[in-house]
Amino acid sequence: MTPSVKQVRPTSVTASGRGIPVTIITGFLGSGKTTLLNYILHNRQDLKIAVIVNEFGDIDIDSKLLVSIDENMVQLSNGCICCTINENLIDTVDALINRDDPVDYILVETTGVADPLPIMLSFITTELQTVTHIDSILTVVDAESLTPNHYDSEAALNQLIFADIILLNKTDLVAPKRIHQLKEYIRSLKPGARVLQTQYGQVSLPLILDVNLNEPSTDQRAAPANHLADDHQSHHLEHDQFMAVSFESDRALNLPKFQTFIDNLPTNVYRGKGILWFQGSQLRHLFQLSGKRCDIKSERSHPPRWNQLVFIGRNLNAEWIRQELAECMAS
């Protein structure tokens, strides 16, 4: 049965008559989606933006990495957003629209393993189509790690195919010739997309917000969202073999041991992120891993007195990862 939403108030429809604009921010693991989202929130001026963040895994990390968190942020945790899409996402958007103080804009940040098509269908084939409209599907690409083999994942490939805007991010890490090759490759997959070069997700907001670039085809509008989502849930993650391994501890980490653990991670770990507490440190440490590139930033705030980590990849040995992390605990 196709999911329904509550009757929304007419005030949720904008002056254009098209409803509240929605940007779906997608992109493969470690491409820079959260960095882009932080940049948007820092530079939104008076625009009242609601952010829907989806986590893949059972620990909420991404929302803690957002610097501008307020009452307009909602987390959809413990699952791939395109697999748990209909009831959860639709009810969330409906609640945002029906508030006494409605928002001007909605940003949906997907997991790195999400397929944007079922997400888009949940907006254009349900009652949400009368009160929202998809402004664009924006895909963030890591210029350093993008290769054709990198996109043997069905979901990752669809992130490019269905994109209206593609941010070729981290261009400071590659040579100009490589950037040209990447653009040619991207345009071979999606000729009509707006391709923008960025570093640290910094881009002029008028180029990516309120651009009205998404025009779903008649076939997509006619597709039954619940059928597509059910099929996607059955095959997407099973086919791509993605999984998330979570780890929590209330003991401090030994930094040299943790560094050795990171250096010895297998290549099928694509992404890691977390909030760390190191022995002897009075700082909060934000951990980001993308492929073999690791970054740990320190913040001048009280240490959290706990560690929370998530690793995402294909066919991971969860027992080995958790055991190795346990060995990293300070004595």
Helix axes 225-240, 154-161, angle to 10 degrees: 130
The DSSP 8-state label assigned to residue 110 in this structure reads: P
- pLDDT value at residue 77: 45
Cα–Cα distances in Å, from 16 out to 21, 61, 125, 131, 170? Answer: 10, 36, 20, 11, 36
The residue among 179, 155, 146 whose CA lies nearest residue 56 is 155
- pLDDT, averaged per 10 consecutive residues of the chain (331 residues), comes to 37 58 92 90 85 67 56 48 56 82 87 84 87 95 77 79 95 94 90 94 95 73 47 49 87 94 90 90 88 84 84 90 95 82
Check residue 79 and give its pLDDT: 43
Pairing of strands 194-197, 242-249: unpaired
pTM comes to: 0.74
CATH class of 18-238: alpha beta
Tell me the pLDDT tens digit for each residue of 102-133: 788 999 988 888 888 888 888 888 888 889 99
How is domain 243-327 classified at the architecture level of CATH? 2-Layer Sandwich (3.30)
Quote helix, strand, coil % in the chain, to nearest 5: 35, 25, 40
pLDDT, residue 80, reads 39
Angle at the Cα of 125 (from 70 to 157), degrees rounded to 5?
75
pLDDT of residue 199: 95
Per domain, the residue ranges of the chain are 18-238, 243-327
CA distance 185 to 136: 21
pLDDT of the residue at 70: 53
Placement of tokens 């907001």 in the chain: 205
Q: What's the sign of the alpha-carbon dihedral 74, 79, 85, 86?
A: negative
Kindly report the backbone phi and psi dihedral angles of residue 178, in degrees, each rounded to the nearest multiple of 5, phi listed first. -65, -40
For residue range 133-171, list pLDDT tens digits in order: 999 999 999 998 876 665 567 778 889 999 999 999 999
